[in-house]
């Protein structure tokens, strides 16, 4: 993914370098008006391996932070946690969160006053990333909570500067939305597990970029965007299944134990190549 992102960025930089010559046939209205376009790029998550864990609610009172203990009183999750997807019951066996492609469509409107450009842009599409966290018990067993985006969207302001009516340097920021889907995997075959909490996650996004006109109606560009969504709805209810009453998840009550992620933020960086048609 990083290799293809670097190749795409280098290719786009070459085009941008040659674009001033191609832009000589543009008209003088600059960047004012409506536009539609799209982007494609790499979505990369920050490393949360040292900070993410799973929290427990043993008595189902809605308060997370309990310690799950064995019948002997020992911490059942003393092997620890990792900020990724478990590949075995060993606590060091974890994959990193999945970075992937992001593709978006957009529509917007700009107003130019002298060299200053300001406007709004709305976009929607999908960043195909997954964010996992895993817990490891003394059984041994692993428990992995994963979230991914079904789709995401944003509405942002843009403000920029153009020195020549054909090249625009801009900053952008505003609201962001994501439809989050939660899933769960485990090597524990005794208890029952019920996943809930697919949610509408809201947050913000900000970044900047450069846009280069290559004709009267077309432009290309390169954009960086950081997105931060609040996602705190994901839950896993651990029930009895075929486990005995001495099972650590049942010791505080026959109703079981709830899981929740310690990190309620879904965050990623995106580097995008952008193409735009202006009316």
Find the CATH number of the domain harbouring 74: 2.40.160.20
Instruction: Kindly give, in sequence order, each residue whose CB lies less than 8 Å from that of residue 94, ignoring residues fewer than 6 positions away.
Output: 49, 82, 83, 84, 85, 86, 87, 134
Distance CA 13, CA 5 (A): 12
Q: Write out pLDDT tens, residues 106-119.
A: 999 999 999 999 99
Q: Write out pLDDT tens, residues 172-224.
A: 999 999 999 999 999 999 999 999 888 899 999 999 999 999 988 999 999 99
- Mean pLDDT score of the chain, rounded to an integer? 89
- Domain of residue 92 covers 2-278
pLDDT at 19 over 60: no
For range 98-102, the mean pLDDT: 93
pLDDT at 10 over 50: no
Q: Write out pLDDT tens, residues 40-96.
A: 999 999 876 667 899 999 999 999 999 999 999 999 999 999 999 999 988 878 888
Task: Please say whether the beta carbons of 100 and 41 come within 8 A.
Answer: no
pLDDT of residue 50: 63
What does 9-59 look like in DSSP terms, one character per residue?
A: HHHHHHHHHHHHHHGGG--TTTT-EEEEEEEEEEEEPPP-TTT--EEEESS
Task: Please say whether the beta carbons of 175 and 124 come within 8 A.
Answer: no
Higher pLDDT: 4 or 26? It is 26
Q: How many CB atoms lie within 10 A of CB 109?
A: 15
How many residues are recorded in the chain? 279
Q: Write out pLDDT tens, residues 164-175.
A: 999 999 999 999
Closest CA to 36 of 227, 224, 219, 166: 219
Total tally of structural domains belonging to the chain: 1
Tokens encoding 249 = 């998840």
Distance CA 84, CA 149 (A): 16
Q: Write out pLDDT tens, residues 120-168.
A: 999 999 999 999 999 999 999 999 999 999 999 999 999 999 999 999 9
């Amino acid at each position: 993914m990083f290799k293809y992102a670097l190749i795409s960025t280098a290719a786009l930089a070459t085009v941008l370098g040659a674009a001033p010559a191609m832009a000589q046939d543009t008209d003088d209205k600059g960047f004012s008006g409506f536009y539609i376009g799209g982007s494609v790029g790499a979505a990369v998550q920050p490393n949360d391996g040292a900070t993410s864990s799973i929290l427990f609610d043993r008595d189902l009172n809605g308060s997370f932070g309990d310690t799950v203990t064995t019948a002997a009183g020992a911490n059942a999750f003393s092997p620890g946690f990792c900020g990724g997807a478990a590949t075995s019951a060993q606590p060091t066996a974890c994959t990193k969160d999945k970075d992937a492609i992001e593709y978006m469509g957009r529509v917007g409107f700009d107003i130019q006053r002298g060299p200053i450009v300001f406007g709004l842009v709305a976009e929607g599409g999908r960043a195909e990333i997954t964010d996992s966290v895993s817990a490891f018990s003394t059984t041994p067993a692993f428990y992995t909570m994963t979230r991914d985006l079904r789709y995401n969207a944003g509405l942002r302001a843009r403000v920029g500067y153009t020195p020549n009516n054909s090249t625009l340097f801009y900053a952008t920021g505003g609201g962001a939305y994501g439809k989050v889907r939660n899933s769960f995997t485990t090597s524990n075959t005794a208890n029952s597990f019920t996943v809930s909490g697919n949610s509408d996650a809201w947050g913000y996004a900000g970044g900047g970029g450069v846009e280069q006109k290559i004709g009267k109606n077309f432009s290309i560009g390169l954009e960086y965007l950081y997105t931060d969504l609040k996602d705190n709805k994901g839950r896993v209810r651990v029930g009895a299944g075929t486990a005995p009453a001495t099972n650590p998840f049942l010791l505080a009550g026959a109703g079981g134990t709830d899981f929740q992620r310690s990190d309620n933020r879904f965050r990623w960086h995106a580097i995008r190549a952008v193409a735009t048609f202006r009316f």
